[in-house]
């Protein structure tokens, strides 16, 4: 009888965002207790949501719950769809002037008739815990950040706490949004990664991806990255949150095939997602401490 000589496929290690996130939240909760003992105050986060976007409402509920769990003050301001720019601006001004509020977050996207850029500029940079204000983006660019953008900062924590070396590695980021792609590239660069940013106009995307030791995918296309685009032993970070034909939550990476090639991979859900809110809490604590 012939022996089966085919080696069993080696599967990638799962980077567990839930476990790492709860570890960091415990550390934040301890710092909140110290801050409270020293000042008699609690860090405070105000979240503003305009309209009835169901995904935004879920995020806001999760943020409020996370704040309560680690001992923050939190306020949610729900405004109707027809809110005017003047009304929204007036609320932001009020929160800017409230000393109990250390962080302000306006949930994006806003209804079409409202100007997102105006809103981002309106929030005081020292309360801009999303790190979207040009003053905070500028500080990240020169390597002297006050706050780090939540999703890219969460990804860096996943890499650090999984003992993944960044210095000298080929890092490829697919997606160039202001929220994930661009700041992600800057944070990897700050840790001496050699960074390439890909987008819809990139020639021969597959070949560029195959060079990556660390591949970060943030494009919003379900199962876009397949095993033939990934270098053997690469670290694959999936930022995507999509619904497939069956309505199941799925990432930008074809998890099943890529996990047979990669050395580390983040799942969806349970990978990058939990880290985003955790980094928001970290930024709010920092705002309070300063």
DSSP 126: G
The span from the CA of 19 to the CA of 15, in Å, is 9
175 exposure class (CB count in 10 Å sphere: 0-12, 13-18, 19+): buried
Query: Would you give the DSSP letter of residue 10?
Result: P
Under 8 Å between Cβ of 172 and 209: yes
What is the C-alpha to C-alpha distance for residues 236 and 215, in angstroms, rounded to an integer? 5
* Residue located via tokens 């970290």: 282
Q: Count CB neighbours of 189 within 10 A.
A: 15
Catalytic residue chosen out of the listed positions 16, 130, 223, 254? 130
* Catalytic residue of the set 31, 107, 213, 282: 107
Burial class (CB in 10 A: 0-12, 13-18, 19+), 124: middle
For the beta carbon of residue 180, count every other beta carbon within 10 angstroms: 24
89 close to 114: Cβ distance less than 8 angstroms: no
- Give DSSP secondary structure letters for 192-220: T-EEEEE-TT-TTHHHHHHT-SEEEE-S-
Choosing from 31, 63, 146, 169, the catalytic residue is: 63
Contact between 253 and 224 (Cβ < 8 Å): yes
| CB of 171 closer than 8 Å to CB of 213 | yes
Residue 107 annotated to the active site: yes
Tallying the residues shown for the chain, one arrives at 290
Return the active site residues.
63, 107, 130
């Amino acid at each position: 009888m012939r022996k089966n000589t085919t080696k069993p496929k080696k599967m990638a290690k799962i980077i567990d965002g839930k476990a790492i996130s709860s570890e960091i939240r415990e550390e934040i909760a301890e710092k909140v207790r110290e801050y409270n003992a020293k000042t008699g105050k609690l860090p405070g986060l105000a979240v503003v949501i305009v309209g009835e976007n169901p995904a935004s409402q879920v995020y806001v509920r999760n943020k409020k719950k996370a704040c309560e769990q680690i001992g923050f003050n939190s306020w949610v301001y729900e405004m109707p769809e027809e809110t005017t720019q003047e009304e929204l601006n007036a609320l932001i001004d009020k929160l800017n002037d409230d000393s109990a509020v250390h962080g302000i977050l306006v949930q994006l996207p806003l209804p079409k008739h409202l100007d997102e850029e105006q809103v981002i500029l309106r929030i005081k940079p020292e309360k801009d815990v999303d790190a979207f204000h040009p003053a905070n983006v500028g500080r990240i660019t020169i390597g002297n950040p006050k706050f780090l953008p939540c999703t890219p900062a969460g990804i860096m924590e996943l890499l650090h706490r999984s003992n993944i070396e960044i210095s000298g590695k080929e890092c490829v980021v697919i997606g160039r949004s202001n929220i994930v792609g661009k700041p992600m590239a800057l944070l990897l660069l700050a840790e001496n990664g050699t960074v390439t940013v890909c987008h819809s106009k990139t020639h021969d995307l597959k070949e560029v991806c195959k060079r990556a030791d660390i591949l970060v995918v943030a494009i919003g296309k379900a199962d876009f990255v397949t095993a033939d685009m990934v270098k053997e032993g690469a670290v694959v970070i999936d930022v995507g949150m999509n619904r497939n034909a069956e309505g199941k939550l799925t990432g930008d990476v074809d998890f099943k095939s890529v996990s047979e090639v990669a050395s580390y991979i983040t799942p969806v859900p349970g990978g990058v997602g939990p880290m985003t809110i955790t980094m928001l809490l970290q930024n709010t604590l920092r705002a309070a401490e300063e």
